[in-house]
Chain A
């Protein structure tokens, strides 16, 4: 491509200053707590702090108690904007009713206690007035029955939405009452209940997800704006935030899922899962049908059709089952066998290339050590060359480009295949686009190989002038591959994925600096948080100037503290921390 050629020349002819500028830009310090980062690590310790912000917004705005705010947020999946939209659109009463928050606040509780005995409608026993509890919705039953109800619901995994026992009452029970009653009989269940509530912020929130590390590091990651991104957890694992598998851009999650399935040998488990379960269209957990009709509802509340797996409302109609195209036979048997053969060859073409690049990527990872040695050798020499950051930066550039290149093959397999995007492009269009894409891909491939070859050279034995030449070469190749990656992504995002009409595929955008590292979460609303820092802590801060992570007082064992301080290093703890064991209301009052 002409366009590319000219920019290539520009780079080669550019003077050293501009290259140095680039070099600095790429220096290792980029991983520090840069302000642009939007991904946050949420640890066990900061989970409560992470949700405080949202809870506060709601409690302040609607002057609610914390548990009601939590009920609202759980119902609206921690999407404060949506909650506010409903508030504006339908009003407070409707907002509350939909989430199961009773509109009547604080009815006179004492009226019940005054009468000596009450008949509980559940066990049909006479119970002393002191042994009954009246919920916010006004329904009153005996404590034993409430407790039993709560235990059954917690065990069913419904902790986040335990409804009142009365028929057709949709009010959600007060979490404080549940905690108090259950802990009397089953302290461990009460603990479990608390954990479920806390973790709802992760489980039900599309902007927060558990880190998929195995064994689990205990962290979750929160993104601010775009859920289509790739991120690195503080435990070191890099993954695609959207689908939680390994980072796979420029493949879309859907393509990647299909690709891995295709590549994987089908194990017994996979067989069983495909035969007996369907993924929920909302939370994607495999759902097994254990009886009843074809309107299945997942534990997350989403209803879907068992026949086609598509999401449905509760008002599933007879005709919408019979009208499903899933029952129709699509393929022509004769064409099929012919196609199968061609498909296999096509798949092998793309798979071989994908595999070759992934293998190179693995081998190059081992290069890291040898390169370190080479740099050490160079540094030990008495030479006027001091700065070897170009070596490591070039190596990182190689890794990133290699990765993009290898995943561009499964992408191409699907985008130009006959299955997914059959109706999106005419054959002529496809041919042109494929040609354009392949030109980009090949240019990238050629430069990645050149870069890779450069690192194989025994440059630690070279003369100074030779090393300077090499430096220029690596720097140039780094810039070129970066530009080519950008261009390939541009082509993918605008010409290919952007032109899709019938389906939408989102990919994590190209990051010149590689996968974003999530930073530790800052301590909530600074103004309020500052007020509640215990005096001693504030004192420590003024003395120390710069200190390591401050552990919230009275929380966690010494073990945990050690672990956290290793993980976190923060110079500015102005955000402050507060006691996680204190209820929000208390903290608020302070």
Chain B
């Protein structure tokens, strides 16, 4: 069985210092075993300014078995499959330790975004481009960030507008939307419960 008490504590802990880390973990549905993690693209990388959603599934053995994580947002990176979002990271496989948490795992993924390891590629095409034509790589990665990892301003404005019309202050609406990965329904639930 998943250690639900620990997951709850982790969620609480993680969302408490959201302001510092920018990393957020929230429920996908009403089960504690399906979660969505959000990490901001690290500054100084082609991923800067993007918000990346990561699909998290906890197996029965968690935390003694690693959580299953993959990118839900499309991303151009040598160690992340551009097709499936699968992540090639040792701590998600044999180097997992029960002492690690969802937050530390997400931080490691964020670190992976800043420091790709093209020598151990998940996506051969991306890795090849990274090594041989770095300029193009940076361009593609930035383009993908712009296209997939940024909620289009138009759609975002629309969501903000909708919620403001319901009577919530705009600043709160924006921060809640950001925290929920721009999920309108989840943001509304949060706003209502706060």
B127 touches A122 (CB 8 A): no
Type the 1/0 row for B96-136, where 1 means its CB is closer than 8 Å to any CB of A: 01111000100000000000001111101001100100000
Task: Determine, out of B2-10, B46-54, B143-151, B155-163, the stretch whose residues face the partner at the interface.
Answer: B2-10
Query: A122 to chain B: which residues have CB within 8 Å?
Result: 6, 63, 98-99
If A166-B99, A316-B120, A318-B119 touch, whether A297 touches B3 (CB-CB below 8 Å) is no
Which of A144-152, A344-352, A422-430 forms contacts with chain B?
A: A144-152
Q: Which single member of A149, A318, A321 contacts B64 (CB below 8 Å)?
A: A149
Beta-carbon contact of A167 and B5 below 8 Å: no
> How many chain-B residues does the 8 Å CB contact rule pick out?
28
When the two chains form the complex, which single residue of B93, B99, B124 contacts A292, counting CB atoms closer than 8 Å?
B93
**Contact at A125–B121, with CB atoms within 8 Å?**
no
0/1 per residue, A311-326, Cβ < 8 Å to B?
0000111100110000
The interface size of chain A toward B, counting residues with CB under 8 Å, comes to 27
B139 interfacial by beta-carbon distance below 8 Å: no
A297 to B95, CA, bound (A): 13
By the criterion CB–CB under 8 Å, are A152 and B64 in contact? yes
Chain A residues with CB under 8 A of B88: 292-293
Instruction: Say yes or no: B119 contacts A316, CB within 8 Å.
Output: yes
- Which residues of the partner chain B approach A152 to less than 8 Å between Cβ atoms? 61, 64-65
Interface of B is mostly: loop
Are A318 and B127 in contact, CB atoms less than 8 angstroms apart? yes
Could you say which residues of chain B place their CB within 8 Å of the CB of A297? 94
* In the assembled complex, B86 has its CB within 8 A of some CB on chain A: yes
- The residues of B that contact A123 with a CB separation of less than 8 Å are 3, 5-6
A22 to B50 alpha-carbon distance, docked (Å) = 88
Q: Which residue of B lies closest to A153 (CB)?
A: B64
The complex places the Cα of A315 from the Cα of B119 at a distance, in Å, of 8
CB within 8 Å: A-B pair count: 58
Contact with B along A150-179 (1 / 0, CB 8 A): 011000000000000111110000000000
- Cross-chain contact B98 with A149 (CB below 8 angstroms): yes
Interface check A291, CB cutoff 8 A: yes
Nearest B residue to A151, CB-CB: B64
Chain B contacts for A151, CB-based, 8 A: 64
List the B residue with the shortest CB-CB distance to A156: B65
Nearest to A163 among chain B residues (CB) is B97
Task: Look across to chain A and name the residue whose beta carbon is closest to the beta carbon of B100.
Answer: A167
Determine whether A479 belongs to the interface, using a CB cutoff of 8 Å to chain B: no
**Residues of chain A within 8 A of B100, CB atoms compared:** 167
B93 to chain A, nearest CB (A): 7
How far is the CB of B3 from the nearest CB of chain A, in Å? 6
Is A124 in the interface zone, CB < 8 Å from B?
Answer: yes
| Cα A166 to Cα B97 with chains together (Å) | 6
Neighbouring B residues of A149 by C-beta, 8 Å = 64, 98
Q: List 14 A-B contacts (CB under 8 A).
A: A123-B3, A124-B9, A124-B10, A145-B64, A152-B64, A165-B99, A167-B99, A167-B104, A293-B122, A315-B119, A317-B119, A318-B119, A318-B121, A318-B128
